[in-house]
Structures are given as structure tokens and as C-alpha cells.
Amino acid sequence: MYKICPSCRTKNPIDEILCINCMADISSVSIDEDVDTIDTTQNLIETNQNFNINQEKQEKNKLELVLVENKELKIEIVNNAIIGRYHLGKEIFQKLPNPKLISREHANIFFKNNKWYIRDLNSTNGTYLLSKNQNTNDNVNEIKLEPYKDYEISKGMILNIAKLISFYIEI
């Protein structure tokens, strides 16, 4: 028995909540039983088509987090990623004076319905979004994200992790 990821079609153990391949949320995916495929050729064709479709999606759905203090340091996200001390961005976070302020699994950034979203993963020190006034470039609004609630993000916003490090969002 296993769960099939709707994004990349990877077979996952039934106790997983995130796909082991693409980190998509599979917590609500139903459990499938192993069924022998009669026509393996057709199965291989479908798998190859799914791979090509997913590869096209990945090329289109990219987001960059650009470090405010050093615009040369970037984190690139394709479709879905967890950022945190043990995940994407760990190389940058480890160089901070107190990296343990950033949770191991701090936030999830993902692409859904042609929009980008961020979800705080119940981080210890919070995730913040700042929007800017496009005319004056002043900070307009800062919100602390509620854990496990999805927030739409767009180009020009600033993502702050644990009040320690900030990134420009580039789409």
C-alpha cells in the first residue's frame, strides 16, 4: 500500500504527509493498494508523459528569494519547497549569528492554482511578510503569519524569517 503524489506521481509510504520526491502535501491523498499492471508498455508511456508534463511545469513555476543584505545570495524554489535550518536555505542560515532561531522546518512555499503561497509550519520565532508601496518604496504592511494558514505572495514583497533574515520575493 502507498500514496501516489498528485504532482509528480511518486509512490510514497502511507505514513508520509509530504511527497518524498517533490515535497508536495500528500496528507489528504487516499491510500492505494498495489495492483499489478497488465499493460506495462502503456504504464511506461503514461509515466513518461507525466514526467514531461511535470518537467514543463517545473521550468515555468520558479520563485527566487533574494537576500536583502546581499543580492547575490538567492534561494531558488521550483513548485514547492520547505525552507528551514534543515532544508532549503540551510547553507545561508548556518552562517547567521544565531541560526537556531530559525526552525528546522520553518515555512513551506508552494505554487497552486497559478499563484505562489507561503505557509508557516508552526515555527518557533515566526514568519513575516512585508508589502511595499510601489510609488514610495516604503514598507506598508507587516503581518506575522498564522501557523498552517496559506498566504498569497507576490513579487516585491519581503519575507522575514524569525526577525533575523529578510528576502525579496522575485517571481
Q: What is the pLDDT of residue 81?
A: 94
What domains, with CATH codes, occur in the chain? 2-60 (no CATH), 62-170 (2.60.200.20)
0.95 exceeded by pTM:
no
pLDDT in tens, the chain (171 residues): 888 888 778 888 988 888 888 788 888 888 877 544 334 445 545 555 555 555 544 456 899 999 999 998 999 999 899 999 999 999 999 999 999 999 999 999 999 999 999 999 999 999 999 987 556 666 678 999 999 999 999 998 999 999 999 999 998
Pairing relationship of beta strands 127-132 and 139-144 according to DSSP bridges: antiparallel
Q: What is the pLDDT of residue 39?
A: 41
Q: How many Cα neighbours within 13 Å face the side chain of 37? A: 9
Question: How many degrees, rounded to 5, is the angle at CA 111 between CA 33 and CA 117?
Answer: 120
